[in-house]
Amino acid sequence: MRTGVDYNESRAAYEGIAHKVVYTGPVDAYFDYKLGQLEYRGLRFETERLEEVNHQGVAVMNYTEREVPYTRVIEHKHFEFGTQPVTYVTKEYPADWQPDEEAYYPVNNERNQNLYQQYAELASQEENVIFGGRLAEYKYYDMDDVIKSALECANRELK
Ligand SMILES: Cc1cc2nc3c(=O)[nH]c(=O)nc-3n(C[C@H](O)[C@H](O)[C@H](O)COP(=O)(O)OP(=O)(O)OC[C@H]3O[C@@H](n4cnc5c(N)ncnc54)[C@H](O)[C@@H]3O)c2cc1C
């Protein structure tokens, strides 16, 4: 097992040691962006320490009002029932995305869906490679949905 390496940079070496590859990276990167680049929504995070025991009472609070500049606030201690005297919160702000940044959410417009369909066609021709997950399928998945999808994929493969 190797972590912190880019599969696409040493693909030939990895293909040689596996009968089957599960690829969970961006599908356009796998094909060296030869049809163009898929776009994503960006995010900017601001984390702050607050000198209070409890800020919002829950781990996640979503904001949809136009007047509020952030879309959600995470209060980390509530994920693990923390009892610390202070609290840390992270605000998530929408941001423009640049290709060298983390790809957060797919942009589901006609341009990107058409481009993805072309990459999906190429992917379907790759023997012994399973393209799975939010980046390889260019799809927004919640965690429960992506686990379901992985289990279904495993069932198909192991039949
Ligand atoms: C900002 C944000 C907030 C979210 N909040 C929620 C939430 O509140 N609730 C919820 O249910 N879901 C949430 N999700 C969705 C959740 O994160 C996904 O469902 C889940 O991470 C998808 O799993 P995945 O394996 O498809 O992708 P990922 O978790 O992104 O895993 C992909 C893996 O592939 C690796 N990889 C990528 N490219 C390469 C490469 N070239 N070489 C080697 N390795 C590579 C990455 O390092 C990573 O380990 C959120 C997602 C985002 C982006």
Percent above pLDDT 90 for the chain: 87
CA of 51 to the centre of ligand 1 (A): 32
pLDDT of 113 > 80? The answer is yes
Ligand 1 pocket, residue 14 CB under 6 Å: no
Ligand 1 pocket, residue 143 CB under 6 Å: yes
Structural domain boundaries of the chain? 11-38+105-158, 41-95
What's the CATH number for 11-38+105-158? Answer: 3.40.50.720
This prediction has a pTM of: 0.90
Contacts 24+ apart (CB under 8 A), 56-59: 56/89
* Phi/psi-derived region of residue 133, left when phi > 0, alpha when psi is between -120 and 50, beta in every other case: left
CA of 138 to the centre of ligand 1 (A): 11
Specify the higher pLDDT residue, 19 or 86: 86
pLDDT of 1 > 80? The answer is no
Ligand 1 atom 33, closest CA: 24
